[in-house]
A and B are shown apart, each in its own frame.
Chain A
Amino acid sequence: GQNIDQPTEMTATEGAIVQINCTYQTSGFNGLFWYQQHAGEAPTFLSYNVLDGLEEKGRFSSFLSRSKGYSYLLLKELQMKDSASYLCAVRDRSGDSSYKLIFGSGTRLLVRP
């Protein structure tokens, strides 16, 4: 089956660093994505990992370990506008070669002054 787990909520302080973890189990893994979603808005793409290791993009970094079924999103120099839900999503490739994006439940991050 498919399962994606991430913490429900996290709180951090402005200027700090926060790490949001994601563990997954899927049969046809074909990449892991992180999306940001502000309340009432559409998800926006943050990062993509398909090989093991760290991908850095400004204040945001994402790490993947395929053998452990584990990823994290690292947010540095937190700003108030970073308060949002962060969705871990796995791209799964089914037997007929169709790709599907399966989302975790999301982590609501609250950044406090």
Chain B
Amino acid sequence: DTEVTQTPKHLVMGMTNKKSLKCEQHMGHRAMYWYKQKAKKPPELMFVYSYEKLSINESVPSRFSPECPNSSLLNLHLHALQPEDSALYLCASSPGQGAVEQYFGPGTRLTVT
């Protein structure tokens, strides 16, 4: 299994809602990542987890809250988002944080109304 899965594929939420994005991999990878990608822009790193511990937070607003319950799962909890947070949210994993290749999931397209 060389796949990173993400659910849901699409999400529409209001500014007062609380929702979560989920990411899963069964490749035994120990590093997992959240990226945000706006239309026609490159992915921007948000968070990195290494061995289930948060190792990088790129000064992301607290309305985004990551969680790594185990080595296969990565969540992104969303609360009180703004319309400008609408984007494609990509999850990725790699064998370790220093590994060469990151495997990306298909992403969750989020729309905040």
Contacts and interface: CB of A to CB of B under 8 A. Distances in A.
Interface of A: 31, 33, 41-45, 48, 87, 89, 98-106
A29 to B, nearest CB: 14
A45 B41 contact: no
Given A42-B106, A43-B104, A99 B97 contact: yes
Contacts of B60: none
A48 B42 contact: no
A42 B104 contact: yes
Contact of A103 (B42, B58, B98): B42
B76 interface: no
Given A42-B107, A44-B104, A104 B45 contact: no
The B interface is mostly helix, strand or loop, or mixed, namely loop
Contacts of A45: 101-103
Contacts of B105: 42
A105 B107 contact: no
A103 B43 contact: yes
Given A45-B101, A99-B98, 19 more contacts: A33-B100, A41-B106, A42-B104, A42-B106, A43-B104, A45-B102, A48-B101, A98-B50, A99-B97, A100-B48, A100-B58, A101-B33, A101-B45, A102-B45, A103-B42, A103-B44, A105-B41, A106-B40, A106-B41
A26 to B, nearest CB: 14
B20 interface: no
29 contacts: A33-B100, A41-B106, A41-B107, A42-B90, A42-B104, A42-B106, A42-B107, A43-B90, A45-B102, A45-B103, A48-B100, A48-B101, A87-B43, A98-B48, A98-B50, A98-B56, A98-B97, A99-B48, A99-B98, A100-B56, A101-B33, A102-B45, A103-B42, A103-B43, A104-B42, A105-B41, A105-B42, A106-B40, A106-B41
